Amino acid sequence: MSENELRVRILPEEEQVLVETHTNGIVKCKEIQADAFLDCIKSSIRRNYVSSGLLPPNCLHIGIDSDGNKAYCLWYPRLYADTSYHETAYLNFPLPRLVFAFHVDTEGKIGECRMGVVADEKPTMETVMYRYPFSNVSGTRGAICIGANALPKYKAPYALANLPALLLSIPNGDHSFNALNNKLGMQYRDLLEHLNGKDPSYYYSDVLIPNGKTLKDFIGG
């Protein structure tokens, strides 16, 4: 034992908490209340809180790892977007309900981007997911192929609200398109021409196919 030491003795049977100080061979003992001892322990515990920053509108979920990297899931409320297929532009094109997931590092650099189609309802963890009927999105995870397009950095989380529209504006080719992902079995250009001018609700009655996943699965990656 060192010359200067503090010891705490807990005596359950006697319901006592004794604090002993040892200073240069001199021992002093003091009894303290158990509640006061617990309060002292609680106040000494450091709690590290992580600030998310101001979140973008319609942010459904955020995960933060031990290094400060963040994973966001956003619900995209708009039902129309300007898009294109090869050289053909489709302005104000109807959309189903979409969700997006992004990994963002501490410098604001975007890592993986994913997209999914959800049921036309207020999102919950049990909301049903559907196959994405177009191109540039692969598998049930919904990984987005951005090709050679460079994405800006998003140091302010709130600015991520602009990222879904940017991703939707990337020109589409035939990468990852599969006619089996729509009920009509149409090829891509035929499907676009067929949907152009339709009400977004048409997706849910005639186009979309459930993929067996829920929003919880999508968020979990």
Residue for token pair 């302005």? 91
Which residue's structure tokens are 């989380």? Answer: 157
pLDDT digits (tens, 9 = 90+) for 106-139: 999 998 899 999 999 999 999 999 999 999 999 8
Ordered by start, the domain boundaries in the chain are 4-44, 59-220
CB atoms within 10 A of CB 197: 11
Per mean pLDDT, which of 5-14, 18-27, 104-113, 202-211 is the most reliable?
202-211
Residues whose CB is less than 8 angstroms from the CB of residue 188 and which lie 6 or more positions away in sequence, other chains included: 85, 134, 135, 172, 174, 177, 179
Q: What is residue 122's predicted lDDT score, i.e. its pLDDT?
A: 92
> Residue 46 carries which side chain, given as an amino acid letter?
R
For 151-210, the pLDDT digits (tens) are 999 989 999 999 999 999 999 999 999 999 999 999 999 999 999 999 999 999 999 999
Residue-level pLDDT at 107: 93
pTM of the prediction? 0.77
Encode pLDDT of 36-60 as tens digits.
878 877 777 766 677 778 899 999 9
H helices of 78-196, in order, are 163-169, 188-195
Model confidence at 2: pLDDT above 60: no
201 φ/ψ angles, rounded to the nearest 5 degrees? -65, -20
Measured over the CA atoms of residue 125, residue 131, residue 134 and residue 138, the dihedral's sign is positive
| Measured distance CA(14)–CA(137) in Å, rounded | 68
